[in-house]
Amino acid sequence: AQTVTQSQPEMSVQEAETVTLSCTYDTSESDYYLFWYKQPPSRQMILVIRQEAYKQQNATENRFSVNFQKAAKSFSLKISDSQLGDAAMYFCAYRSLFQGGSEKLVFGKGTKLTVNP
Amino acid sequence: EPEVTQTPSHQVTQMGQEVILRCVPISNHLYFYWYRQILGQKVEFLVSFYNNEISEKSEIFDDQFSVERPDGSNFTLKIRSTKLEDSAMYFCASSPGHTGELFFGEGSRLTVL
């Protein structure tokens, strides 16, 4: 079974600074997706960024980028130029791409990010 | 922008009562899910639903739980006889395919007294 580990329960960053959230995962599959979801206080989880494991290039979405290390099974999220609106719970998640594999998302425990003005 | 909607946002019930949580997935999506998040814990998978049947379920999803899509738009989670430990935030999600991202609703908070 796949597992996702987020070792930082809480992180804080100064506005306009850069912060990196860590995520490691365990799987025996070679094809999968990895995601970072953001859950603001309004509760709805929204997708921040996704990475297909077969792509070597790290995904980027504006101020958000990932450092995907497939061999190390590491998938960290970097937030540049942090804004007050980035304050939220961030979840790392795994989903199999294997045709006969599980279709569910497996989540880490989350990292609560605080942005200080 | 299309979104997943859930009702009620908060429900308080007595232990042993039946509860139905409702979800309207995004209209052209084919895969539907329920997750729950007990306060302070990780988001846990309950069940996935495709082509009008359960495609996968977790060990949490026992005989007290059921899902259905009665009218082609709503997707419901029923808990037949609630327990104290069912208190959690329940999230509905949908997806256009069996890969890629899930789109989540805002959640239904269930409090069992």
Name every chain B residue with its beta carbon within 8 A of the beta carbon of A97.
99
Percent of chain B with pLDDT over 90: 76
Q: Is A106 on the interface with B (CB under 8 A)?
A: yes
Pull the structure tokens for residue B71: 């009218």
As beta bridge partners, residue B59 has none
The domains located in chain A, with CATH, are 3-116 (2.60.40.10)
As beta bridge partners, residue A46 has A38
Domain count, chain B: 1
Q: Is B87 on the interface with A (CB under 8 A)?
A: no
Dist CA A97 CA B99 (whole Å): 6
The answer to whether A43 contacts B99, with C-beta atoms less than 8 Å apart, is: no
Query: Residue B4: how many CA atoms within 13 Å on its side-chain side?
Result: 30
Per-range mean pLDDT, top range of A41-45, A101-105, B6-10, B51-55: B6-10
The structure tokens 């308080």 sit at B12
Residue B1 reports pLDDT greater than 80:
no
> Can you give the pLDDT at residue B88?
96
**pLDDT tens column, B46-91:** 999 998 899 999 999 999 999 999 887 899 999 999 999 999 999 9
Residue B113: DSSP 8-state? -
Name every chain B residue with its beta carbon within 8 A of the beta carbon of A91.
43
How far A53 CA lies from chain B's nearest CA (Å)? Answer: 12
Closest to B35 measured CA to CA, from B81, B84, B75 = B75
Indicate the residue type of A33: Y
| Domain of residue B86, residue span | 5-112
**pLDDT tens column, A75-99:** 999 999 999 999 999 999 999 877 6
Strand, coil or helix: B43: strand
**pLDDT tens column, A15-71:** 999 999 999 999 998 889 999 999 988 678 899 999 999 998 999 999 999 999 999
The answer to whether B21 and B105 have CB atoms below 8 angstroms apart is no
Strands (E) in chain A, as ranges, are: 3-5, 10-14, 19-21, 24-26, 32-39, 46-52, 60-61, 64-69, 74-79, 88-96, 105-107, 111-116
The answer to whether A116 and A14 have CB atoms below 8 angstroms apart is yes
CATH number of residue B30's parent domain: 2.60.40.10
Pull the structure tokens for residue A78: 């970097």
Pull the structure tokens for residue A88: 């939220």
b/e code A76-107 from CB counts within 10 Å (16+ = b): bbbbeebeeebbbbbbbbbbbbeeebbbbbbb
Pull the structure tokens for residue B100: 């890629």
